[in-house]
Amino acid sequence: MSSLEVLLKDESTRNIRRLLKVVILITIAGAAVSSRLFSVILDPWFNFRASKYLVKNGFYNFWDWFDDRTWHPLGRVTGGTLYPGLMVTSGAIYHILRMLSMPVDIRNICVLLAPAFSGLTALATYLFTKEMKDESAGLLAAAFIGIAPGYISRSVAGSYDNEAIAIFLLMFTFYLWIKALKDGSAFWGALCALFYFYMVAAWGGYVFITNMIPLHAFVLVLMGRYSPRLYVAYTSWFALGTLGSMQIPFVGFLPIRSSEHMAALGVFGLLQIVGFVEFVRDQVPSRQFKTLLKALIFIVFALSSAVLVLLTVSGVIAPWSGRFYSLWDTGYAKIHIPIIASVSEHQPTAWPAFFFDLEMLIWLFPAGIYMCFSTLQDQHVFVIIYGIMASYFAGVMVRLMLTLTPVVCVSAAIALSNILDVYLSIKTPAAPTAGAPSVNERKEKKPRVNILSAGKDSIVGVYSKASKIAVIAAFSIYLFVFVLHCTWVTSNAYSSPSVVLASRMPDGSQHIIDDYREAYYWLRKNTPDDAKIMSWWDYGYQIGGMADRTTLVDNNTWNNTHIATVGKAMSAREEVAYPILRQHDVDYVLVIFGGLLGYSGDDINKFLWMIRIAEGVWPDEVKERDFFTPHGEYRVDDGATDTMKNSLMYKMSYYNYQSLFPAGQAQDRVRNAKLPAVGPTLSILDEAFTSENWIVRIYKVKDLDNLGRDHLSAAAFDAGKKKSKRTKANKGSQRKLRVV
Amino acid sequence: MRFFAPIVGFLSLASTLLPTVLADSKVSKFTSLTAGSKLKGIVRLTDALYTEFTSAPRNYSAVVLLTALDQRFSCALCQEFQPEYELLAKSWVAKHKSSDGLFFGELDFADAKATFQKLQLTTAPILYLFPPSTGDNVDVAHIETPYQFDFTQYGVPAEAVAHFISQHTSHTPPVVRPFDYVKFGTMAGGVLVAIAVLSIAFSIIKPIIYSRNLWAAISLIAVLLFTSGHMFNHIRHVPYVVNDGRGGVSYVAPGFSNQFGLETQIVAVLYALLAFATISLAMKAPRIEDPTGQKAAILIWNAVLLVGFSFLMSLFKQKNGGYPFFLPPLF
């Protein structure tokens, strides 16, 4: 026995191995945390505001919090419309640290929460994978999830969103479920329900767990793998978990009244019947009786499904909500809920995105799934189902790459650890002597029918040291490149928060474009505290957080009509928009314009969605067709339609823009269009602020005219009679516009 | 002013009375035409009737379909829309025996070339909606110029046209699709046959359903399809390959968030190859008993893995120009 083998196998060195394991896990957690610290900017601001409120006013006030700084004039009943898990977590950490007399600012906790929880995710993944194969696979999986860009994308420092803690909860709940299933233990089932409750409190994606666990149980029953262990684990999880999830006000009675949750209920019922039948079968060993029982199961199952359908049709049970339904019927959202289809995260995923986020794991993933099939215990069925479902969802929506990443890491770790097990073994088998029956021949050899039977012969081992070294060397290089890839992706793509844009100068140096913060700071310093800002909902949280001003709509898109109102104001003519602005007390309007810099995420590019959402509510007044030329083109240059040119959004984006260029040379660098020689005029708005690179433009809504005229005629009057005054005013506004 | 009010009222009454009488006579005429029509609920128009049908004064809403049903014109959309239009008209007259102020007319190109020429129409089908020009629901802006239904945006379903009519007039035409007994019968029969076949042949099918190989194959194919961007192709309807303008085809789409059909298939095959090489190395190779054979197998699979992965990375580099990494032998 070599000395290394003594170290690895001997009882006396068990402590050393345990220590090694702990050290490795801590190192992985450390790597996971540190790779998320490339740059730190807190976002989304709403969650931070909510956490501050929670820490300052206590938990009960937080439940009753009515936020009048958003959704003006409606306000938002915050306690009942959010998942409080994230804020409560950071609030709890804050109070614990204070109790240990370590006063830490709540802001720092919010910033570092996501990296800290990614360390915990690595631990949860280790535990989960350990249940699938062994500890070495677990360590590999932990290392993968620690640095996989697919997960880093949502958990860099400062990304203070629900997903930051949700992935840890997801993996840990799954681990507890597998543990409960393996041991048939109500204790682990109850723990699983507890963490399920935490997950429900933290993220809307809990529905994934709500359907994954029943699906696993259902498949096991279909495979004829029903066991008392399954019964105990599932029923304890379902009963406690459902009760728990109903404690969250935002969820309330959904678990018994919506279609998303019906699968769990149905499988619960099915397990009762199957359990009863299995019990009776043990007592009465008659063949006829068994057939009768089978028929009974079938009839009861069919009947309860029919009742379920009936309840859904009659409206007692809500049908699938649009957000989830659009995952199955992929064309649904585009037609019926443009607000969901408009979000870039909800677009389907092209293959480079998979490779970008997972690199070599993406091809180790199917290999791991295959290996799960070759062992196929109850817990492997779970990984297979999870893998298929998650890869479908990730294909439909970019955002759901997040739920795919953990299972890819687990599966890839299983595959890679199989490779390492074979090729890192020091033992070399003796070469078979000629004539002697080989290991496998000694067993009666059957003709191969099973393609999975590669795993059925017994392992001989690898004879040649050179082969071992070649394979291990190749995989070491792949792993090394994987680490490089992850670092590169993280530092390049996922560490530039949306608030600050980084660009490369021709000489290669980095140039920071900080227009957003410049504009928000301007709002904070130059507008009254109770000013109402209208912008598209994408910027609602940022304005609320950084500029501390009241917004009309924000990223919590709970009220479609209100968003459509903003869309209508943006897409309407000035005289139509003005009453809307007045009715909503709007003081300032903010638009994002990328034409000067070539920043493609600007409002003119998002404009079609605003029109579509508005058209959904006012089909008579806003028509998408009017914004397209007769040839079906979306244009902003001379060929743009009159509706387009007269829309408030177009005017606000291009107002005064022509003055930057020599006459007739104005150029939009995003849409590569030469703009009309004469720029748009604005009569209901005054330009208040334009940022350094023209990305953010803010307009002040004019007060009613002193003489009771409408603004158009007032402007015409000014233009006709008081030319000298107008040029003076123009000069004043131009001084504010800094030109790069 | 108050003194003049009755006079003004009387004058306006007189000025509206004459067209009302004229329009009323038209209503009774078209009601009888609708009732006597061969196509249920639709007035077959001619050049003369079209003018009378659509001209002011109207105290009814007139929907006119200008179509070209004759096979010679090979107007696919006309053929496709015809049954939907008939369904819409039929549903309306079934509920409203005396038409109640909404008429459906149809003008075929074969009967009325003059109208097509007069309106300078070169395409068909065209669906006009003339709202009332007198009466309570008068729509001043559209007395002479009708609303036009946009087939390209809303397609041909009768429901879409019904929605279009309800948007612009006070009518909300119902669409009652007749229950399709044939379809129901075939469906029910099919289900019964399927159940019968299943129960009879269950002993044969059972090993297939419970076959681990089958499920493994299905699962792996599903995973490979989804992770190589098949859903993107499905949702966005991307082309399979694109002509590159130099006589050849380009099979790799430029840009990070775009792809072609063939490209995703290449990627899927590549993933499958790499996964299979991994499986062979991990599970097949250590079970080979012949040392030389084993050595060769390991060497080959290792090489396949390297070349495949290298090719994958170079493909990714094509998509993402700034990607700094590569593996030999391909750069």
- Residue in chain A nearest B263 by alpha carbon: A351
Last residue of a domain, one of B168, B202, B220: B168
Last residue of a domain, one of A284, A318, A352: A318
**A216 beta partners:** none
A454 neighbourhood in chain B, CB within 8 Å: 279, 283-284, 287
With respect to residue A64, please indicate whether it lies within any of the assigned structural domains.
no
Q: What are phi and psi of A204, to 5 degrees?
A: -65, -20
Give pLDDT tens digits along chain B (331 positions).
455 555 555 555 555 555 566 667 778 888 888 877 777 788 888 888 888 888 878 888 888 888 888 888 878 888 888 888 888 888 888 888 777 788 888 888 888 888 888 888 877 788 888 888 877 777 777 777 888 888 877 777 888 888 888 878 888 888 888 777 888 899 999 999 998 888 888 888 888 888 888 999 999 999 999 999 999 998 888 888 888 777 778 888 887 888 898 999 999 999 999 999 999 999 988 888 888 999 999 999 999 999 999 999 999 998 888 888 888 887 6
Distance from CA of B221 to the nearest CA of A (A): 9
* Burial (0-12, 13-18, 19+ Cβ within 10 Å), B5: exposed
Q: Is the previous residue joined to A84 through a cis bond, with omega within 30 degrees of 0?
A: no
In which domain, by residue range, is B304 found? 211-319
Query: What pLDDT does A497 receive?
Result: 61
Q: Are residues B142 and B35 in the same domain?
A: yes
- Taking residues A453-479, what's their average pLDDT? 83
Give CA angle at A163 (A157, A164), nearest 5°.
30
With respect to residue B176, please indicate whether it lies within any of the assigned structural domains.
no
With respect to residue A200, please indicate whether it lies within any of the assigned structural domains.
yes
Q: Cα A60 to chain center, whole Å?
A: 29
Half-sphere exposure of B221 (CA within 13 A, CB side): 6
B137 in reach of chain A (CB within 8 A): no
Last residue of a domain, one of B117, B133, B168: B168
The yes-or-no verdict on residue A189 having pLDDT over 90 is yes
Confidence of residue A572 (pLDDT cuts 50, 70, 90): very high
- Taking residues A212-231, what's their average pLDDT? 93
Render pLDDT for A144-180 as a digit per residue (tens, 0 to 9).
999 999 999 888 888 888 988 999 999 999 999 999 9
Confidence of residue A735 (pLDDT cuts 50, 70, 90): very low
With respect to residue B223, please indicate whether it lies within any of the assigned structural domains.
yes
Total domains in the fold of chain A: 2
B148 neighbourhood in chain A, CB within 8 Å: none
Give CA angle at B98 (B96, B103), nearest 5°.
80
DSSP B233-260: HHHHT--SSEE-SSSSEE-S-SSTT---
DSSP 8-state code for residue A136? H
B206 in reach of chain A (CB within 8 A): no
Among B224, B231, B298, beta carbon nearest to A471: B298
With respect to residue B302, please indicate whether it lies within any of the assigned structural domains.
yes
Query: What pLDDT does A45 receive?
Result: 81
Last residue of a domain, one of B168, B203, B224: B168
Query: What pLDDT does A434 receive?
Result: 57
With respect to residue B264, please indicate whether it lies within any of the assigned structural domains.
yes
A451 neighbourhood in chain B, CB within 8 Å: 213, 216
The three-state secondary structure class of A591 is strand
With respect to residue A392, please indicate whether it lies within any of the assigned structural domains.
no
With respect to residue A680, please indicate whether it lies within any of the assigned structural domains.
yes
For the question of whether the overall pTM of this predicted structure is more than 0.90, the answer is no
Distance CA A330, CA B285 (A): 43
With respect to residue A75, please indicate whether it lies within any of the assigned structural domains.
no
What is the longest distance spanned by two Cα atoms in chain B? 119
Distance from CA of A464 to the nearest CA of B (A): 7
- Taking residues A13-42, what's their average pLDDT? 87
With respect to residue A607, please indicate whether it lies within any of the assigned structural domains.
yes
Last residue of a domain, one of A269, A289, A318: A318
Q: Which two tokens stand for residue A234?
A: 């599932």
CATH classification of the domain holding B113 = 3.40.30.10
> How much is the ipTM here?
0.83
Last residue of a domain, one of A260, A290, A318: A318
Distance from CA of A367 to the nearest CA of B (A): 5
In which domain, by residue range, is A628 found? 513-719
With respect to residue B195, please indicate whether it lies within any of the assigned structural domains.
no
Half-sphere exposure of A399 (CA within 13 A, CB side): 11
Q: Are residues B157 and B215 in the same domain?
A: no
Distance CA B277, CA B312 (A): 14
Distance from CA of A287 to the nearest CA of B (A): 17
Inter-chain contact B216–A370, Cβ cutoff 8 Å? yes
Least confident stretch, A413-422, A435-444, B171-180: A435-444
Q: Are residues B164 and B215 in the same domain?
A: no
- Taking residues A9-13, what's their average pLDDT? 69
With respect to residue B178, please indicate whether it lies within any of the assigned structural domains.
no
With respect to residue A402, please indicate whether it lies within any of the assigned structural domains.
no
B311 in reach of chain A (CB within 8 A): no
Q: Are residues B242 and B142 in the same domain?
A: no
Query: What pLDDT does A22 receive?
Result: 93
Distance from CA of B281 to the nearest CA of A (A): 7
Among B153, B276, B294, beta carbon nearest to A462: B294
Distance from CA of B140 to the nearest CA of A (A): 16
Share of chain A above pLDDT 90, in %: 44
The three-state secondary structure class of B173 is coil
Name the B residues in 170-189 with CB < 8 Å from any A CB.
Answer: none
Q: Report the residue of A384, A399, A438, A467 to disrupt the B interface, i.e. the one with the largest count of B CBs within 10 Å.
A: A467
Query: What pLDDT does A3 receive?
Result: 56
The yes-or-no verdict on residue A661 having pLDDT over 90 is no
Inter-chain contact A464–B222, Cβ cutoff 8 Å? no
Q: How crowded is residue A357: how many other Cβ atoms within 10 Å of its Cβ?
A: 27
- Taking residues A627-643, what's their average pLDDT? 85
Q: Report the residue of B279, B284, B330 to disrupt the A interface, i.e. the one with the largest count of A CBs within 10 Å.
A: B279
- B126 closest CA partner among B116, B141, B135: B116
With respect to residue A346, please indicate whether it lies within any of the assigned structural domains.
no
Total domains in the fold of chain B: 2
Query: What pLDDT does B13 receive?
Result: 54
A vs B: CB pairs below 8 A: 198
With respect to residue B218, please indicate whether it lies within any of the assigned structural domains.
yes
What is the longest distance spanned by two Cα atoms in chain A? 114
**A258 beta partners:** A318
Inter-chain contact A355–B316, Cβ cutoff 8 Å? yes
CATH classification of the domain holding A653 = 3.40.50.12610
Inter-chain contact B309–A387, Cβ cutoff 8 Å? no
The yes-or-no verdict on residue A200 having pLDDT over 90 is yes
Inter-chain contact A363–B291, Cβ cutoff 8 Å? no
A419 neighbourhood in chain B, CB within 8 Å: 278, 281-282
With respect to residue B199, please indicate whether it lies within any of the assigned structural domains.
no
The yes-or-no verdict on residue A738 having pLDDT over 50 is no
Q: Are residues B43 and B144 in the same domain?
A: yes
